[in-house]
Amino acid sequence: MLRRTSEHGAEEMALTGIPEGFSRVCLGGIGVEIPESFICNEELVETYNGWAEAENAARAARGEEPVPLSSAEFIVQASGIRRRHVYERNGILDPARMAPVIPARGDDELSVMAEFGLAAARKALAHAKLEPNELDLIICSAAHHQRPYPAIAIEIQQALGAQGAAFDMGLGCSSALAGLHVASNMVRSGAYRRVLVVTPELITAHLNFRDRQTHFIFGDASVAAIVEAMDHREERQGRFEVVDTRLWTRFSNGIRTNFGFLSRLAQEDPYLLEMHGNMIKQMGNKVFKEVTLAGHQFIVEFLGEYDHTPHSMRRFWLHQANARMNAMILKLALGENVDHDRAPLVLDRLGNTAAAGAIIALAENHEDMKAGELGLLCAFGAGYSIGGALLKMM
Ligand code: COA
């Protein structure tokens, strides 16, 4: 483990701005795992509308209000999403089920979420040219966790054959950035030398495909990043130095899930799992407006702490929820429209992959950056929560 010792002292602080005894931090490796299967808007809407028509016939017979129909044109126009990759396609397009079929695994088998996280973790290790036994800590930070315990991170630790410790955490769609914030500060302080942050987002598993407001939004993806300590004079060509990270939170019910261990106790039969009302809910338009303003303010204030403005960023890897929202945040921040080279989009083909989205945008769009150029990784979501990382290409 890294200790707060420094051979160069004050000279180093003058050179880097980092207090004596604290480490510089870099992103040593990034891994992305995207499932092969995908579903386009037209297929999703056909299933939803097929279900809605049958549901409406039943509702009419009961004298109830019909549910509204969905539209593929609306989805692209409102969100920019054209398709989403899914961990398991089987079941989602079946109007009688409208949820992926993911069979239960035995307690002695590798769990689904750990397996998904491992795939990204192994890619991040290969990218960082590290062996699992060189990690000191593993954090699994995701919007949803398969179970409260034993921690998914500990299962990943065991499957990798890593030492040290591991724990789970989550902060909605800001989970990966919150994980990077914790990891970077732990590494900077000298508590750990190398931390793996894994974010397996199996979000279609918690999605209500019978809710027109949200059925089209999410896709599945798993990402991992390795946060490493660096020597004060070290330069790792083609890797990012993590200049700093920030987190912001304010309570809101705009995006909410009520699923938890108390859910069953509100039911008549507490031994029957009733999901109705216990899946993701979102007040899309309210969230859009409130998070656009908060996101813009966060970006300007965070960069301002370093005497930067949004204009000094070569690239923005923003949360991938809504193309219009990202365009608006950046227009507010920069006073002009920003193209996809400056602010890459992956949501058109992947949907909103919760906390994985911004990291995928980063992984796919950084190799052309020159030494010294800056970029901002920024995700926002439930809580509300916003996480940012100011990155400098070495
Ligand atoms: N198909 C067709 N019409 C739909 C529809 C669908 N699937 N869903 C909603 N509509 C209708 C609404 O009923 C409404 O009709 P009305 O004007 O007659 O009342 C109209 O389309 C506009 O709905 P609205 O909810 O205002 O759409 P929007 O422009 O806000 O877009 C989202 C909806 C979800 C795409 C958008 O609000 C969003 O992306 N929000 C932010 C999400 C986010 O960032 N979350 C945080 C991270 S997870």
Q: For residue 250, report the distance from its CA to the centre of ligand 1, in Å.
A: 22
**Residue carrying the six token digits 């054209």:** 82
Q: For residue 351, report the distance from its CA to the centre of ligand 1, in Å.
A: 15
In a domain, 322, yes or no: yes
In a domain, 107, yes or no: no
Per-residue pLDDT of the chain (394 residues; tens, 9 = 90+): 333 334 444 554 554 556 666 789 999 999 999 999 999 999 999 999 999 999 999 999 999 999 999 999 999 999 999 999 999 999 999 999 999 999 999 999 999 999 999 999 999 999 999 999 999 999 999 999 999 999 999 999 999 999 999 999 999 999 999 999 999 999 999 999 999 999 999 999 999 999 999 999 999 999 999 999 998 888 889 999 999 999 999 999 999 999 988 988 888 888 888 888 889 999 989 999 999 999 999 999 999 999 999 999 999 999 999 999 999 999 999 999 999 999 999 999 999 999 999 999 999 999 999 999 999 999 999 999 999 999 999 9
Strands (E), 288-356: 313-318
- Token representation of residue 227: 């946060």
Q: Report the alpha-carbon distance of residue 330 to residue 136 in Å, rounded.
A: 37
Which residues, 6+ apart, have CB-to-CB distance to 352 below 8 Å? 79, 81, 84, 173, 203, 217, 218, 219, 320, 321, 322
Q: Report the alpha-carbon distance of residue 115 to residue 35 in Å, rounded.
A: 12
Q: Let me know: does 335 contact 310? Beta carbons within 8 Å.
A: no
Q: Let me know: does 25 contact 229? Beta carbons within 8 Å.
A: yes
Q: What's the N-to-C CA distance of the chain in angstroms? A: 24
Domain total of the chain: 1
Does the C-beta of 70 come closer than 6 Å to ligand 1? yes
Q: Is the full-model pTM beyond 0.85?
A: yes
Q: What pLDDT score was predicted for residue 3?
A: 34
CATH number, residue 372:
3.40.47.10
Which residues form the catalytic set? 173
Does the C-beta of 175 come closer than 6 Å to ligand 1? no
How many helices and strands in the chain, by DSSP H and E? 10, 13
Task: Tell me the residue range of the domain where 359 lies.
Answer: 240-393
Burial class (CB in 10 A: 0-12, 13-18, 19+), 113: buried
DSSP at 189: H
In a domain, 1, yes or no: no
Q: Report the alpha-carbon distance of residue 328 to residue 272 in Å, rounded.
A: 44
